[in-house]
Chains A and B, each alone.
Chain A
């Protein structure tokens, strides 16, 4: 198994490392977009710099001036590095501050940091994305990249669970992708409203229903940790081995580069060893309490 993993390990970010990783680089908000009641997307341009290259799955430390800094996954298209895109949920002081930013406002960016989704290793395979809640945002760059090279992959499936129909992210884009790129999209909600005509039930209930070849599938999973654990088990029941499943983990981060110690989960530094991990590297850690 170790040889399979060695081959499938995500390469560290191709982009060059920032000169001083602790100094934020000024960016300007070019566009804001409200996605749902508590999520929004910021599109950023460098205040004077050049294009921002990143690999799908990587994150930035975003600094709301005079408020604070938080790690946020990049959710834009890696083929268009001129514009840095982040979809964020307003849950704390910093992200709420970011939610108030308007076009022309400044923001600090450190990054990109961390490992990436195995989009290259998935060539020739069916690809199953399983997203829960805001977890769709860190997967979106991988979706962009795979759909841009659609012919290199077998079936491409997105299983997406949201809390309620009002919490569904990127609704229009999902609809467009379904038609334009032969993306098999299945959306479900945990709580239905009477107007909702779609699926009801947790995202794991979609796994047995969709068509893909479990023996030739790479799965990329992002969402709350509990949802990811259940998803791994359901994928396994379907026949997808854990060695072909990748997860993105979240922990507190202050530096993003393995120096501040906050993001440790057992022996792993989520910021530099992750956030994207082969499931088998973190499965034991995820099942231990308060690790």
Chain B
């Protein structure tokens, strides 16, 4: 089996971690592959993982009747997917479906939560990394909300 330590150590997301912490995180990690069309998770389900995308493309979707599933965002190589595992009630807000063959490193949320409780230094480093990811998503969402390419951009006060 492929050793995950070097992969994790190289990823920008975990760049703040010591080798010891990397080994700890690797202890909660495993490789997974998803075929096109397969779901990584579905909205409403319990969230006990997050994913580091190594290859492929995943659509983050939300059910919006009568439009069906609306894709909010796609994530690809290098991206981090999922933070619902981090805070209660540990439940996915969105669904994630592989749009093509996708390889990920899956990190076990229960395992990591326990490790973080035992070692707050690790917990703090991971939270910083996630704060960065959440911030990026928020920026992107806000820019998306601005609808900057529209003929009549949103948010214009008449």
Decide if A and B touch, CB cutoff 8 A.
Answer: yes
Chain A interface residues (CB < 8 Å from chain B): 38, 89, 91, 132-134, 161-163, 167, 188, 190, 192, 194, 196-202, 204-205, 208-209, 223-224, 226-227, 230
Stretch of B112-120, B123-131, B148-156 lying at the A interface:
B148-156
Chain B interface residues (CB < 8 Å from chain A): 57, 59, 68-74, 76-79, 99, 136, 139-140, 143-144, 146-151, 153
**Given A188-B74, A194-B68, A201-B74, do A226 and B148 touch, yes or no (CB 8 Å)?**
yes
Check if A201 sits within 8 Å of B140, measured CB to CB. Answer: yes
Inter-chain contacts of A89 with B (CB < 8 A)? 151
Closest A residue to B68 by beta carbon equals: A194
Inter-chain contacts of A91 with B (CB < 8 A)? 151
Check if B74 sits within 8 Å of A208, measured CB to CB. Answer: no
Inter-chain contacts of B79 with A (CB < 8 A)? 208-209
A155 vs chain B, min Cβ distance (A): 15
A-B residue pairs in contact (CB < 8 Å), sample of 18: A89-B151, A132-B149, A161-B149, A163-B150, A190-B147, A194-B68, A199-B57, A200-B72, A201-B74, A201-B144, A202-B140, A202-B144, A205-B136, A205-B140, A208-B79, A223-B148, A223-B149, A227-B148
In the complex, A226→B153 CA distance in Å? 11
Check if A192 sits within 8 Å of B70, measured CB to CB. Answer: yes
B94 vs chain A, min Cβ distance (A): 12
**Given A199-B57, A202-B140, A204-B139, do A209 and B147 touch, yes or no (CB 8 Å)?**
no
Check if A230 sits within 8 Å of B139, measured CB to CB. Answer: yes
**Given A199-B76, A208-B78, A209-B79, do A227 and B143 touch, yes or no (CB 8 Å)?**
yes
B75 vs chain A, min Cβ distance (A): 8
Other-chain residue from B71, B76, B143 in contact with A230 (beta carbon distance below 8 A):
B143
Given pairs A201-B144, A209-B77, 6 additional interface contacts (CB within 8 A): A132-B148, A192-B70, A196-B71, A198-B74, A200-B71, A204-B140
Check if B151 sits within 8 Å of A133, measured CB to CB. Answer: no
Inter-chain contacts of A204 with B (CB < 8 A)? 139-140, 143
B157 vs chain A, min Cβ distance (A): 13
In the complex, A205→B78 CA distance in Å? 11
In the complex, A199→B53 CA distance in Å? 15
Inter-chain contacts of B70 with A (CB < 8 A)? 192
Check if B74 sits within 8 Å of A224, measured CB to CB. Answer: no
In the complex, A162→B148 CA distance in Å? 10
In the complex, A197→B100 CA distance in Å? 10
A57 vs chain B, min Cβ distance (A): 20
Closest A residue to B76 by beta carbon equals: A209
Check if B74 sits within 8 Å of A200, measured CB to CB. Answer: yes
**Given A188-B74, A192-B70, A200-B73, do A163 and B139 touch, yes or no (CB 8 Å)?**
no
Inter-chain contacts of A161 with B (CB < 8 A)? 149
In the complex, A226→B69 CA distance in Å? 29
In the complex, A201→B151 CA distance in Å? 19
The 6 closest A-B CB pairs, nearest first, are: A133-B149, A163-B149, A224-B148, A201-B73, A192-B71, A200-B71
Closest A residue to B57 by beta carbon equals: A199
In the complex, A3→B136 CA distance in Å? 33
In the complex, A124→B104 CA distance in Å? 35
In the complex, A194→B57 CA distance in Å? 16
A51 vs chain B, min Cβ distance (A): 33
